[in-house]
Amino acid sequence: MVNRILVGAHYGLKDWIIQRATAIIMAVYTVIFLVVVGAAGPDSYDAWRGIFANGFIRFATFLFFVSVFYHAWIGVRDIWMDYVKPDGLRLLLMIATVAVLVGYAGWAVQILWRM
Amino acid sequence: MAEMAIKKKRPKNLDLPTIRLPLPGILSIIHRISGAAIFLLLPFLLWLLQGSLASPEAFAVVKGVVAHPLAKIVLLGLIWLYMHHFCAGIRYLMLDLHKGIDLESARLSSKVVFAVSIALTLIIGAKVLW
């Protein structure tokens, strides 16, 4: 007898881990960002732009955004799964969520590398 | 007779004012609401970042928007949502590591989350917005 489980091909565990990994990345970035901005106290355009012109901050900010978007996908998907029962509507909302988040990722790249 | 005995054993509490969500439950639902709210506000935040970095003129526009009293209240609320999600999230990571899972420490840590997130919101709000 083939005891085959057709659902749950580790999707749950993978997302569970990614949700936490991205949370740690965002938490570390938040602390770094608050310290950097707190120390620099940027009150002019040049000072503010100077923070993001730094290669490390730009890389870290991009990593932060990617983490935000992936983390948001898992969290918002959980909300749709908890409250939206009709399959078609749930699928539509999930696709819309992915679509806007992928779009935001492109926007974030544009903001950081075309400034 | 048997039915009567079973019925008597089942406690009922329909005195609704005595039922309330405990603090860790309030923390949990705010964690979800704050996450959803931040998701919905992402385009606004990206727009603010874009403007602030694009050019000195756009920076001035963003500075003007942020200086509006209504925007300050919205942003202070947003900082609180973020800080609550941040602190509650760290608490959840600790719970994942089986730290503070007994009832007493779980209640205490939710109080700490509320106190720390509100304190951080006020400190950051005072420094950034006023």
Give residue for tokens 């938040």: A30
Mean pLDDT, all residues of chain B? 91
Q: How far does B9 lie from chain A, in Å, by closest CA? A: 33
ipTM of this predicted structure: 0.89
Residues of A in contact with B35 (CB under 8 A): 72, 75-76
Q: Domains in chain B: how many in total?
A: 1
What's the pLDDT at A46? 93
What's the pLDDT at B109? 97
Distance CA A49, CA A57 (A): 11
Structural domain includes residue B96: yes
> Residues B52-77: pLDDT tens digits?
999 999 999 999 999 999 999 999 99
What's the pLDDT at A6? 58
> Residues B77-89: pLDDT tens digits?
999 999 999 999 9
C-alpha distances (whole Å) from A115 to each of A52, A56, B62 are: 9, 16, 15
Nearest to B46 among A24, A34, A107 (CB): A107
- DSSP H helix total and E strand total for chain B: 5, 0
In chain A, where the domains are located? 15-113
Distance CA A27, CA A34 (A): 11
Nearest to B36 among A30, A48, A79 (CB): A79
Structural domain includes residue B1: no
What's the pLDDT at A3? 64
Handedness of CA A97, A99, A102, A105 (dihedral sign): negative
Q: Which residues of B touch A (CB under 8 A)?
A: 32, 35-36, 38-39, 42-43, 46, 49-50, 52-56, 59-60, 86, 89-90, 93, 96, 124, 127
Q: What is the mean pLDDT of residues B83-106?
A: 96
CA atoms within 13 A on the CB side of A76: 24
Structural domain includes residue B4: no
Q: What is the mean pLDDT of residues B24-34?
A: 97
User: pLDDT confidence of B5, banded at 50, 70, 90?
Assistant: low
Instruction: Name the 3-class secondary structure at A10.
Output: coil
Phi-psi group of A4: left, alpha or beta (phi > 0 → left; psi -120 to 50 → alpha; rest → beta): beta
What's the pLDDT at B13? 76
Q: Write the CB contacts of A55 (distance below 8 Å, at least 6 apart in sequence).
A: none
| CATH topology assigned to domain A15-113 | 3 helical TM bundles of succinate and fumarate reductases (1.20.1300)
C-alpha distances (whole Å) from A63 to each of A15, A88, B3, B40, B77 are: 18, 33, 62, 20, 25
Q: How far does B47 lie from chain A, in Å, by closest CA? A: 9
What's the pLDDT at A4? 61
Residues of A in contact with B38 (CB under 8 A): 72
Do A111 and B45 contact (CB within 8 A), yes or no? no
Distance CA B35, CA A75 (A): 7
C-alpha distances (whole Å) from A95 to each of A70, A88, B20, B107, B109 are: 14, 11, 36, 38, 36
The one-letter code for the residue type at B55 is: S
Distance CA A53, CA A35 (A): 17
The size of the A-B interface in CB pairs under 8 A is 52
What parts of chain A have a pLDDT lower than 70? 1-11
Residue span of the structural domain in which B49 resides: 28-128
CATH code where residue B36 lies: 1.20.1300.10
